[in-house]
Structure 1
Amino acid sequence: MTAAQADLQAEILEMRKGLRIDRPETADGAALWRIAKDSGELDLNSSYSYLLWCRDFAGTSAVARAEPDGRPVGFVTAYLRPDHPRTLLVWQVAVDASHRGRGLAAQLLDALTARVRAEHGVTRIETTITPGNTASERLFTSYARRHGADVEREVLFETSQFPDGPHNPEVLYRIGPLSV
């Protein structure tokens, strides 16, 4: 780990009093589903998928917990791309309404990528964002700036590819290489 990475990790750990970031547990699945549902922006997956995600992808995901009860108030779900294991695909980022506007999504994303970079040597992240999702666009472009990385964008899935009715296209954001 470089000195810059250590500084970033120390900064992440100095979260607002009363919050901590760690790995999700299966018991968190229902809370993550609720936070995603209440976000108003995310495609809501089945509650079952959030339970599985917390079980099978806890190592590449993160949850913010309120202290002292450990209640989840935000999360990032992600996975390593099977064909590109140094690329972390960020699936969803959501923060409970009571904790929005305080930079928690950025802290979650930074903490998760610091951990996954140290454990798996990740050099790039990817995510998809629908046009007009300004909060996500800002989150990921500011992430790229903080980490000295370029951002490439291209449409990954066109509207016509979604079988379940009207859906905006999904624009792939490729961020990397990560320097900090």
Structure 2
Amino acid sequence: MMRATLKEKLRYRTPCKSDGAKLWEMVRDSGKLDLNSSYFYLAMSHWFSESCMLAEDITTDQLVGMVIGFRKPSRPHTLFIWQIAVHEQYRGQGVALKLLDQLADQSTDIDYLEATISPSNHSSRRLFEKWAAANNVDIVQSECFGKADFPDHVHEQEDLYLIGPLKESKGEK
């Protein structure tokens, strides 16, 4: 009997309200991301599900990856990526890239992706650079939140990454 490849084992879908707790647990267990309240993950899964994407292992029904985003009210054709995570066992296998692909493909009217990334977060920077290169789009980096902007002044600065325009890479619709 042949073993299923990772690609065959994973299902990508938008979340629903019942996924909120699993998203919170994934972020908590990642040890790398800022953990928001459980309410935040419930709200994103329920009211902002069209700007989020999950990856599940269909053989175990385990959540193995997620991306949480929202459309910017001032720029509705820009999808801001709030958080992206992949379970430790599945890292380095293209799951995060596929999550971004799936989300961008379902959001056909999105022109740009945005994300904030701290200077020490090399893996996120590499992920977005690799995704932009694969989609033949540019990244423009600018200052967003400085250390002094945070109330405790201990959070590392967050730089803004603007990725796109995506329509040119996808072909005009």
TM-score (norm 1): 0.86
- Give 2:132's aligned residue: 144
Aligned residues: 164
Query: Gapped runs of 5+ residues in structure 1?
Result: 1-13
Query: Over aligned residue pairs, what C-alpha RMSD do you find?
Result: 1.4
Does 2:46 align with 1:55?
Answer: yes
- Give 2:148's aligned residue: 160
Distance 1:165 1:156 in 2: 15
Distance 1:83 1:76 in 2: 21
Letter in 2 for 1:161: D
Map Cα deviations across residues 119-152 of structure 1 (whole Å, 9 max, x no partner).
Answer: xx11111000011111100110111111111111
Distance 1:165 1:73 in 2: 33
Gap change, CA 1:111 and 1:15, over 3 Å in 2:
farther
Q: Percent identity?
A: 40
**1:95-106 equivalence runs, <5 A:** 95-106=86-97
Give the ranges of 4+ consecutive aligned residues of structure 1 lying more than 4 Å apart after TM superposition.
none
**1:38-77 equivalence runs, <5 A:** 38-77=29-68
Map Cα deviations across residues 7-42 of structure 1 (whole Å, 9 max, x no partner).
Answer: xxxxxxx96122100001111111111111122221
Query: Gapped runs of 5+ residues in structure 2?
Result: none
Distance 1:161 1:16 in 2: 41
Give 1:75 shift. 0.3
- Give 1:80's aligned residue: 71
